[in-house]
Amino acid sequence: MNKPSAFIFDMDGVLTDNMRHHADSWVELFRDYGLEGLDAERYLVETAGMKGHDVLRYFLDPNITAAEADHLTELKDFLYRVSSRHAIQPLQGLETFLSKAADCGTKLAIGTGAGHKNIDFVLDILNLRHSFGAIVSASDVERGKPDPDIFLRAAELLNVPPSSCIVFEDAIPGLEAARSAGMAAVAITTTNSREAFSPFGNVIAVIDDFAALDPLELVRKIPENNPLTSP
């Protein structure tokens, strides 16, 4: 390859199919606070991938204090880690895909709305931390998804221009963030249907897992598909 390129991976719902555990944990937390109208599907469609604080502002209280949001997010994350500990496993084909991408010179990063405890939790179980040259969490930037800050920071740390990056995302706010960053994207169907991704012109592939994905073929698509920032 003649130019630097990078793959930036969301974590939850991309490296592992765990978003249902997050959704169920939010539902249980909100139910305890008297919010009965939220179900897992609504969380996944409307707010999956957002910072915990933004989820709380969206569903519970737009004026929630930072201290209370921190407290409730930590409670939810504890519920999530307890419920999902024995279910975390890599998405099919992921490890081979990461290895092939690294072999062909593509830089790899994580750009996730998760906090550091949840990042450590997943990456330690999957034993994949060594695969990534940069890891950017929601707490490392001012604005979470759907703003592009997380992905732009990851590209900066890898020293690769945004137009040479491909984002791997399962959630609508994450695809919006990739589009705003001027990055192409691969959409994964763990959280949303294929039809949900149709409004995004920056999506160059829709996959169920990584088993049949060729990193070199993806990189070859970057020049003719970026920037794709229009709806």
Q: Is 112 exposed, middle or buried (0-12, 13-18, 19+ CB in 10 A)?
A: buried
- The CATH number of the domain where 23 resides is what? 1.10.150.240
Domain edge (last residue) among 50, 67, 84? 84
Looking at residue 229, what is its pLDDT?
45
Token digits of residue 191:
């959280």
Domain that holds residue 31: 19-84
Looking at residue 63, what is its pLDDT?
94
164 lies in some domain: yes
Q: Which ranges of the chain have pLDDT less than 70?
A: 1-3, 223-231
Question: Could you tell me where the beta strands, DSSP code E, fall in 6-164?
Answer: 6-9, 107-111, 134-136
108 lies in some domain: yes
125 lies in some domain: yes
Q: Could you give the number of structural domains in the chain?
A: 2
Question: Do you find a cis peptide bond into 146, omega within 30 degrees of 0?
Answer: yes
pLDDT tens, residue by residue, 1-12: 456 799 999 999
Q: Is 66 exposed, middle or buried (0-12, 13-18, 19+ CB in 10 A)?
A: exposed
45 lies in some domain: yes
Looking at residue 231, what is its pLDDT?
42
Token digits of residue 42:
């609504």
Shared domain check, 34 and 10? no
Shared domain check, 139 and 40? no
Residue in the structure block whose two tokens are 């990456």: 123
Q: Is the sign of the CA dihedral 53, 54, 57, 59 positive or negative?
A: negative
Token digits of residue 169:
């995302």
Longest C-alpha distance within the chain, in Å?
56
Shared domain check, 92 and 76? no
Looking at residue 153, what is its pLDDT?
98
Question: Could you tell me where the beta strands, DSSP code E, fall in the chain?
Answer: 6-9, 107-111, 134-136, 165-169, 184-188, 203-207
- Cα separation, 109 vs 159, whole angstroms: 11
Shared domain check, 29 and 78? yes
pLDDT tens, residue by residue, 124-164: 999 999 999 999 998 899 999 999 999 999 999 999 999 99
95 lies in some domain: yes
Q: Is the sign of the CA dihedral 201, 42, 141, 108 positive or negative?
A: negative
